[in-house]
Amino acid sequence: MKEVAALIKQRLGRNLQPYDIWYDGFKSRSEMDPAELDKKVMAKYPTKEAFVADLPQILMKMGFTKEKAQFICQHVDVDASVGAGHAWGFQMKSDNALLRTRIGAKGMDYKGYNIGIHEFGHNVEQTISLHLVPNYFLNGVPNTAFTEALAFVFQKRDLDVLGIKDNNTMKSHLLALDNLWSSYEIMGVSLVDINLWRWLYSNPNATPEQLKEATISIAKDVWNKYYADVFGSTDEPILAIYSHMISSPLYLSAYPIGHLIDFQLEQQIADKNFANEVQRIFEQGKIIPQLWMNGAVGTPLSIEPTLN
């Protein structure tokens, strides 16, 4: 991680700060003008209805047939959120999945669109793994990390869908670096989440103030153990920032595992039909994780593909 940190430091032209744990510069969009991206997206999606109408086209651009794209989209409802994006699955085949993302008064900006594509990836998984599994009782995925993986896979294709091609010859290497750094960040947050709930079980009568103090203390401990040598500072509380720890207990660890699955899925589908592979992989349903991974990519879940 020190080598990646040194590269980020070189790219930024300054010493790393704790907030650089969220460094986003390995992504294609980092070289683009955010205002121009907003302008392009707002022109394309001035309303929620415009976004909804385009969802089948988004899937067809990813390789889904018109019939399959329409089938998936007829099982997805879209709401304009006032907060963060969200995707909510469904248990009955007669019900629809819900996609929520920010759509402002002037239309959807790039951030809302990027989040929307991520959430749409969840909805595609939710639809396939309910309607196309071999048996209803297999509906779903092994755990939430697996739906996060497809959401990440979709999210990375947001610019392609907009017609913006990334011709960078270093693209695959940059994606590996982005995956590694993103995993590094969220793994630390996950450790805070896990250790916080261990503390709560040992202190069931804790007050909100005690919970706050414990969260900050645990975050500093995790930082000092895994990040201080890389960033050159100690006792940083920044890993305590995620409200998920309380609002969605023990969910955060799904993200780093999702990043690892995402990377292995990308390698699997790189030279194949994207849509066919997505359907084949996610119609396996809710079987045990390593059996799912072997069926999906032929190997167990591993960090090795990212490191290699």
With a pLDDT cut of 70, the percent of the chain lying above it is 100
Answer for the pair 115, 103: CB distance below 8 angstroms, yes or no. no
Which tokens sit at 307? 């490191």
Report the amino acid identity of residue 194.
I
Report pLDDT for 183.
Answer: 92
Question: Once rounded to an integer, what is the mean pLDDT over residues 170-192?
Answer: 91
| pLDDT 10s digits, 209-240 | 999 999 999 999 999 999 999 999 999 999 99
Of 19 and 254, which is predicted with more confidence?
A: 19
| pLDDT 10s digits, 29-85 | 777 889 999 999 999 999 999 999 999 999 999 999 999 999 999 999 999 887 778
| pLDDT 10s digits, 248-285 | 888 899 889 999 999 999 999 999 999 999 999 999 99
Report pLDDT for 234.
Answer: 97
Report pLDDT for 83.
Answer: 74
Q: What's the per-residue H, E or C state across 61-84?
A: HCCCCHHHHHHHHCCEEEEEECCC
pTM: 0.88
Answer for the pair 222, 188: CB distance below 8 angstroms, yes or no. yes
| Alpha carbon separation from 175 to 27, 178, 307 (Å, rounded) | 7, 5, 12
Q: Whose CA is closest to 100, among 124, 129, 76?
A: 76
How many other C-beta atoms can be found within 10 angstroms of the C-beta atom of residue 242? 19
Q: Under 8 Å CB-to-CB from 85, ≥6 apart: which residues? A: 99, 100, 101, 102, 112, 115, 116, 118, 119
